[in-house]
Structure 1
Amino acid sequence: MMTGVLERLSANWVYGGFMAGFVLLLLAPALTAGWPQAELSVYLVLPVYMLHQFEEHDRDRFRQFVNARIGHGREVLTPGFVFAVNIFGVWWVAALAILAMRFVDAGWGLVAVYLVLVNAVLHIVQMIALRQPNPGVWTAIVLFLPLGAAGLAGLWPVASLTQHLVSLVLIIALHGLILARVKAGLAGSAPAA
């Protein structure tokens, strides 16, 4: 029974996230009242990312795109891997960054800021390299770049060099995990049916 639940969650997580994104946006004035503008920008990363994920993952678009264009028909990304990366590597990372920003030091909000900025840059670079749009590129450009820029500008004066470096390295490593999975899939998987 649990396997069936996990399969359904892996296949349909993006729709719950999409709706939760709107709820988190609706609650933003109540949850962030009195926060500095930079910290509001960090809070907004989570719901905005959830809206981006709908463009990116609705109908399994991103996984199918990567498997077709980069994997050349091989299943280099599985539904379970995409689910895990987006729940633990996006939602949890953003949530923990918000908590660290509020309860440890404001500069740790950079983790969430770099999450959107690095993702936007990678979407744009991939679009240029493949000479075609990829799932998620438009919300990355329209939402992530301005939100990330606002967060970066606001946190710049209060964040340490260490916080910048740790945040950036963490997010690059997270994206590197995806690249490593794709490379492993290319090396060992059979063509997708």
Structure 2
Amino acid sequence: MVRSYLEAHWVAAALCMGIALLLLLPLGVPGGDRALLLIYLASPIYMLHQVEEHLGDRFRRYVNGVVFGGVEALTPGDVLLINLPGVWGINLAALYAAYFIDPGWGLAAAYLILVNGITHVAMAAHLRAYNPGLASAALVFIPFGLYAVLHIPGTGLQHVFALVIAIGLHAAIALHARHRARAGRAVVGVAG
């Protein structure tokens, strides 16, 4: 029951939370630290992108219909798990790691935004069409992600670790969707 409620309403929560987190910004970031500010901003920026991307279940329907030819490669439950524990959880963990350990351990939030932005643009170029989330990915994610990656101090290890997390999450999503699509096609082939 809770899961179905979240599946139906998480995008509205993203809009409210994204705006609320931005409204809290004037209260400041501890120490006025630019790196912490950038890592903090990753969450509301991502949440507002998720509204463009997922309002009306647009992205899931686009991926299933256009990318996978009508096969259900992503379910509402998949989208919920990708975005709440995946994106929101990684961004929260990055903020805590940056605050309590070192700013460089928060770079995953910046790379997550940058990799997602590049993914949207690459998908649009490959399919020669708009995909839900493309506008905010191209206009906000790529510039913000580049700026954050260049201005959050970190060691080479911290950059590699963050990039592996971002690419790993996106690769896991793609592999999961392909696996579900193949399984769906196999079922249709057996039934047909």
TM-score class normalised by the smaller sequence: over 0.9
1:159-192 CA distance string (max 9 Å, x none): 111101111011111001110111111211156x
Q: Offset at 1:79? A: 0.1
Query: Could you say which residue in structure 2 is the equivalent of 1:23?
Result: 20
1:176 aligns with 2:171: yes
Identity of aligned residues (%): 40
Q: Offset at 1:31? A: 4.4
Residue aligned with 1:48, SS: helix
Residue aligned with 1:189, SS: helix
Residue aligned with 1:87, SS: helix
5+ unaligned residues in a row in structure 1: which ranges? none
Q: Offset at 1:99? A: 0.5
Aligned counterparts, 1:150-161, within 5 A: 150-155=147-152, 158-161=153-156
Distance 2:138 2:32 in 1: 26
Query: Could you say which residue in structure 1 is the equivalent of 2:104?
Result: 107
* Number of residue equivalences: 186
5+ unaligned residues in a row in structure 2: which ranges? none
Q: TM-score, normalised by structure 2?
A: 0.93
Distance 1:5 1:110 in 2: 32
Distance 1:141 1:40 in 2: 21
Deviates further, 104-113 or 33-42: 33-42
1:53-73 CA distance string (max 9 Å, x none): 000000000000000011101
Distance 1:102 1:33, change over 3 A: closer
Distance 1:149 1:139 in 2: 14
Aligned counterparts, 1:57-96, within 5 A: 57-96=54-93
Residue aligned with 1:34, SS: helix
Distance 1:20 1:64 in 2: 24
Distance 2:151 2:66 in 1: 38
Query: Could you say which residue in structure 2 is the equivalent of 1:162?
Result: 157
Give runs of ≥4 in structure 1 deviating > 6 Å. none
1:25-50 CA distance string (max 9 Å, x none): 00012141532223211110000100
Residue aligned with 2:31, SS: coil
Q: TM-score, normalised by structure 1?
A: 0.92
Distance 2:45 2:73 in 1: 27
Q: Relative contact order (alpha carbons < 8 A, sep ≥ 6): 1 or 2 greater?
A: 1
Query: Could you say which residue in structure 2 is the equivalent of 1:35?
Result: 32
Aligned counterparts, 1:139-150, within 5 A: 139-150=136-147
Q: CA RMSD in A?
A: 1.2
